[in-house]
Structures are given as C-alpha cells and as structure tokens.
Amino acid sequence: MKKCCFCINLKLGTLIISILSLGAAFSVIFSTIATLCDSFFSSYYAAYGFSKPFTIVSLIVYSLLFVAFSFGFYVSIQEKRVDLIERYALILYAYVFISAAMNSGMIFILMNNKKEYCEMALRSDEDCTNLVLIGPIINIVINIIINIYFARVVSAYAEQTEFLLRHNTPRTIIVQV
C-alpha cells in the first residue's frame, strides 16, 4: 500500500486517521457524559440510557482510547520513530476488537430492551422490534472494515518509514590504502 484512499500519502493519511479517531472517541465520551448527567439526552443516546453500567464502562474505555488516539496524533507527526508508528498500528488493530465488543454490548442491551427503545427513541408504539438491530449490526460491520483499513494504513506508513530510513542512511565507505 503506497497511498491512503488511493490519493493521500500515508503520513497525511495517518494524521487524518488520528484526528478522526480522536473525534470519534470524543463524541462517545460526550454522549456518555450527557446520558449520565441528564435524562433528556437518554432519548438521543438510547442504548446508554438502558444500562448505566454499560454507560460507565463506555466512558472509561473511550477515555482510555482518547489517550491512545492522542498518542497516535503525536506519532503521526513524527518522522523517524518507526517503533512508535508500529505501536500505534497495534493500538488500531486492538481498537477493532474493542469497538466490536462495545458495539456488541450495545446490541445486547437493545435486544433486551427493544420495546422500550421503540417507544422512547423512535417515539412510536408500532412494532419496530425487528428493525431495531439492523442499524447497529450494519454499524459493526462497517466499523470493522474501516478500522481494519485504518490500521493497515498506519502499518504501511511504518513499513514505508522504515524502508526510507534504511535506504537513506548515509553509509560509511572504508577505503584501504
């Protein structure tokens, strides 16, 4: 892989991925805090409103991820630290599993509260219980695909940086007299 999204160099792609990841983590942190502080927001972030323990776990997990993505932002502006770039790629691969687990938890909560979710979030008395899970399941699949691609871009950036450092290092020539 030589480009991110077919047209952006890998360094800039890594920076953009870091910014997007920070934004995503911040939005989850905001939604969980809003849900914990005010029941009005529960209708907007309905899955969090049904399970306070899940909300608290989400807040902790995504706060830690925010720190990890901040590290990724720092790494994305470094030029010659292949080891840090590789660690950031590992963080992104781990995020694939963390994100899938958190989304699966949300689906589990929605499955156990389908009727209430339809009444509260959708303001509907109609039977929407079969449709409730389609959105989160599609979200998980798209999330996994995008996050694997992002991790692959950062891995490719690490490989590219290592290659450039190896081939642009001045070599000492020993001349025998």
Three-state secondary structure of the chain = CCEECCCEEHHHHHHHHHHHHHHHHHHHHHHHHHHHHCHHHHHCCHHHHHCHHHHHHHHHHHHHHHHHHHHHHHHHCCCCCHHHHHHHHHHHHHHHHHHHHHHHHHHHHHHHCHHHHHHHCCCCCCCCCCCCCHHHHHHHHHHHHHHHHHHHHHHHHHHHHHHHHHHCCCCCCCCCC
| 55 — pLDDT class (breaks 50, 70, 90) | confident
**CA angle at 78 for the pair 75 and 81, rounded to the nearest 5°:** 85
Q: Where are the domains of the chain?
A: 11-167
Q: Is the pLDDT of residue 147 over 70?
A: yes
Mean pLDDT of 120-132: 63
Q: Which amino acid is at 167?
A: H
| 134 — pLDDT class (breaks 50, 70, 90) | confident
Report the alpha-carbon distance of residue 121 to residue 46 in Å, rounded: 6
Q: Is the pLDDT of residue 172 over 80?
A: no
Q: Which residue has the tokens 């991110």?
A: 4
Q: Which amino acid is at 8?
A: I
Share the mean pLDDT of the chain. Answer: 81
Mean pLDDT of 30-54: 68
Q: Which residue has the tokens 């323990």?
A: 53
The tally of CA atoms less than 13 A away on the side-chain side of residue 48 is 23
Mean pLDDT of 92-114: 85
pLDDT of res. 36: 77
Q: Is the pLDDT of residue 81 over 60?
A: yes
Mean pLDDT of 146-158: 92
pLDDT of res. 176: 56
Mean pLDDT of 65-69: 93
Q: Is 92 exposed, middle or buried (0-12, 13-18, 19+ CB in 10 A)?
A: buried
Which tens digits make up the pLDDT trace of 11-28? 899 899 999 999 999 998
| 39 — pLDDT class (breaks 50, 70, 90) | low
Beta bridge partner(s), residue 3: 9
Report the alpha-carbon distance of residue 85 to residue 50 in Å, rounded: 38
pTM given for the model: 0.77
